[in-house]
Structure 1
Amino acid sequence: MKLLFLLFYFSLLTLFYLISIPFLILLSFKKKYRESIPARFFLYKNPPFEKSGVWFHSCSLGETKSLKPLIEELKNEIINISVITHTGFDEAKKLSKNVRYLPFEIFLPFWIKRQKVLVVTEAELWLMLFAVAKYKGIKTILINARISDRSYKRYLAFRFFYKIIFSYIDVVFAQSKKDANRLKELGAKKIIVNGNLKSFQKISVSKEYEKDDKFITTLASTHENEEEIILSSINIEKGDKIIVVPRHPERFEKVDLFLKEFAKREGLSYGRFSKMKDFKTDITLVDVMGELVNIYKISDLVFLGGSFVKNVGGHNPLEPAFFGCRVISGKEIFNQNALFELVENVYLIEPKEIKDFFKKRKSLKRSKIISKAEIDLVIEEISCGTR
């Protein structure tokens, strides 16, 4: 029965792929997808892994970064990593020389070669990925598994489909008991509640920046309209500095135009980090990747983006909390609830409250991490698959 469904699913995906080819070709000209679409959908410069090893799969930047402590414990193993996004790819290259974009599902039966174990992060529930892995005798593990409040009903609506996926997963490590219960409803078998592995990350700066006596407020991982929502609500005083770090590089130019106009209107100095390499202006746009952790270290207050607009679900509070920053977030954190439970003194507010909280910014309590995940059980399960 499962095999028949797989054949039907594969046929449906193939039809969808053939119809989508013109659109995919057009989309591949966009800077954001210039590498990922040719690699994933046309296998351009994207061969199978050359050697058998521990195969990690993650989606994007945050999930890939969370793999670091696991990989550091597997020093004697060949590490293969597949990703979905270009930011995830760049981060994965820091962890292993064997990095690929995960091909579209119809290519996986021919692309996947024998590996010792497959370790997949969070919500990367691709049916063909797990099914082909099991048919090729690979142990399958899902780590950091979560089902957000927002997506729970959608998962339940397709419970029959997810039951098939989970039938191909040997072990599931859930972020919380709530996640474990939901995963069980969807058909997961062996479930271990292990916390969020992102809390185990060893956070370190790649460059030290000098901090002066100004109060530095960082708008971190901002999405569409969030710069305007926050900056239009606060009164920037003489002793303030503002650093803006958009989440996605394709927004740099648009945010630059907004900040130029805002700074001019408010009588403030403004500059782009890519040109200045410092934070001497009143407002700085960080238009390069990989600097956010370095900036957290010199920040007094952090507004966490992706939380003041709908449909994003918030971003990781652990990194600013590691440096003891004061942290303000919006209430739209449905993708990060488990992480927020690990941090003390994070202020969850509505956009209309930004003005009042910024007024009392210096008296806000500093955030701190109060709980961490354990990685020993995960390492043990991975190691069992390598013997």
Structure 2
Amino acid sequence: MYTLFSFLIWLLALPFLAVLALKKKYHKSLSARFLLFKNPKFNPCDVHFHACSLGEVNALKNLISNFDSLALTTTTDTGFAAAKQITQNSRFLPFENLLPFWLEKAKVTVIFEAELWLNLVRSAKKNGSFVVLLNARISDKSYKNYLRFKFYYNKIFENIDLVLAQSERDKARLMELGAKNIIVAGNIKSANSSSPSKILPKFQNRTTITIASTHEGEEELILAGLKNFAQNNKNFKFILAPRHPARFEHCAKIAKIWADELNLSFEKFSENKNFKSDFILLDTIGELINFYAISDIVILGGSFVPNIGGHNPIEPAHFGAKIISGRYFHNQNALYNLVKNIKICKASELGDALKNPPQKSEILQICDLERIIKIIKDEINARKSL
């Protein structure tokens, strides 16, 4: 019945998806996920990892690197591009009605965080897989919605063998939804000791401020909040790193206007890459961690406008950057609690926050990645002997 219902939803959604697919941002992912266009089954493997998007794929890198026989599925274009750099056995995860016919066998299936799809876990179990929900959490904001559909999540957890929860509070909430065999393992993102892919030069005698992972409407707010400060302080270099590549050109216009008003030089990183300008737009993928490594201060985006919920503070904290965040980080509460010295303010208060910046950030608790690796490898070996 559920697959039939999913098919009807798929059928009704097709006209809307066809219009949405005209946008470059969704063209590849929608045709692959809903029509299986250039999206064949992945090769059978020991472990199938599923993560939603770029941030989740990056969070899994250190774990994935411990396995040779693997598949990796995602749902977004940026996530897929990152997955392909890890393994060629990467695919877009199809919509629910297609999964029973598409999903290939894996000895262990690892699903990251909130990617709770009934046909994904049910089809994996039918294929003989040991199903793990990794980094499981239920945010305060989404808790009531989970309870509203408790009957659905009960069915999902019937097909999940092991839940690795982020905290005791998450464990209690997951149990209420029907989850069993729960281990509190911490947040795997705290175990990722991020390493730069290249060493960028530090700016001598200048404080580097990286404005990271910003969303629509956020650049204007942040830059407005920084304007008076930047007018009166010339020993700073600004890096702006928008979250989504589709917005690079739009953000370049905003940044150029702001820089011109303050008589600051401006460049796109993709065009010059010489770091001479006062303001640099980071308009390439996969470079943000390299800039975190040389940043003195990180203004963490996704937190100055509602409905985004913040981004991962662990990454800049690995390098001891001074972190300033907005107030809207509800989706990242667990990670924020793991980092010491994050300063919270409104966008309009950023100038004052920079006059009195926080201490260097510190990570308070690290997830035991080796324990998780052992659990997965033990289950792979158990199924090899069957």
Specify the TM-score bucket, using the shorter chain as the normaliser. Answer: over 0.9
Partner of 1:316: 312
Partner of 1:298: 294
Offset, 1:350: 2.6
Paired with 2:160 and 2:337, the residues of 1 have a C-alpha distance of 27
TM-score by length of 1: 0.94
One-letter code aligned to 2:240: V
One-letter code aligned to 1:29: L
One-letter code aligned to 2:3: F
Point out 4+ residue stretches in structure 1 off by more than 4 angstroms: none
Match of 2:192 among 194, 197, 201: 201
Partner of 1:246: 242
Offset, 1:65: 1.5
Offset, 1:344: 1.2
Partner of 1:285: 281
Matched, 1:157 2:148: yes
Paired with 1:248 and 1:275, the residues of 2 have a C-alpha distance of 18
Match of 2:335 among 336, 339, 350: 339
Match of 2:368 among 350, 374, 384: 374
Cα pair 2:221 2:348 within 8 Å, conserved:
no
Offset, 1:351: 2.8
Offset, 1:243: 0.6
Number of residue pairs matched?
376
One-letter code aligned to 2:116: L
Match of 2:253 among 257, 278, 283: 257
Q: Which moved more, 1:374-383 or 1:337-346?
A: 374-383
Offset, 1:131: 1.1
Paired with 1:240 and 1:69, the residues of 2 have a C-alpha distance of 33
Match of 1:47 among 30, 40, 49: 40
Cα pair 2:222 2:348 within 8 Å, conserved:
no
Paired with 2:133 and 2:105, the residues of 1 have a C-alpha distance of 18
Offset, 1:315: 0.6
One-letter code aligned to 1:260: K
Give the secondary-structure state (helix, strand or coil) at the position aligned to 1:306: coil
Deviations 1:71-90 (A, max 9, x none): 23334xx1111111111112
Partner of 1:172: 163
Match of 2:222 among 210, 230, 250: 230
Query: For residues 26-37 of structure 1, what are the structure 2 equivalents within 5 Å?
Result: 26-37=19-30
Offset, 1:50: 2.2
Partner of 1:107: 98
Offset, 1:27: 1.8
Paired with 1:323 and 1:380, the residues of 2 have a C-alpha distance of 28
Partner of 2:209: 217
One-letter code aligned to 2:64: I
Matched, 1:385 2:376: no
Q: Which moved more, 1:341-350 or 1:216-225?
A: 341-350
TM-score by length of 2: 0.94
Root mean square deviation, CA, Å = 1.4
Give the secondary-structure state (helix, strand or coil) at the position aligned to 1:124: coil
Cα pair 2:157 2:180 within 8 Å, conserved:
yes
Paired with 1:54 and 1:349, the residues of 2 have a C-alpha distance of 42
Paired with 1:35 and 1:16, the residues of 2 have a C-alpha distance of 20
Deviations 1:165-195 (A, max 9, x none): 1111110000011111111111101100000
Cα pair 2:211 2:241 within 8 Å, conserved:
yes
Matched, 1:349 2:331: no
Paired with 2:258 and 2:354, the residues of 1 have a C-alpha distance of 18
Paired with 2:48 and 2:378, the residues of 1 have a C-alpha distance of 14
Cα pair 2:193 2:318 within 8 Å, conserved:
no
Offset, 1:377: 3.3
Paired with 1:60 and 1:195, the residues of 2 have a C-alpha distance of 21
Paired with 1:346 and 1:32, the residues of 2 have a C-alpha distance of 32
Give the secondary-structure state (helix, strand or coil) at the position aligned to 1:34: helix
Partner of 2:14: 21
Offset, 1:208: 1.6
Q: For structure 2, list consecutive stretches of 5 or more residues without a partner in the other structure.
A: none
Give the secondary-structure state (helix, strand or coil) at the position aligned to 2:311: coil
One-letter code aligned to 2:189: K
Offset, 1:97: 2.1
Q: Which moved more, 1:261-270 or 1:58-67?
A: 261-270
Paired with 1:115 and 1:175, the residues of 2 have a C-alpha distance of 25
Paired with 2:334 and 2:134, the residues of 1 have a C-alpha distance of 14
Cα pair 2:209 2:298 within 8 Å, conserved:
yes
Partner of 1:145: 136
Give the secondary-structure state (helix, strand or coil) at the position aligned to 2:298: strand
Q: For structure 1, list consecutive stretches of 5 or more residues without a partner in the other structure.
A: 1-6
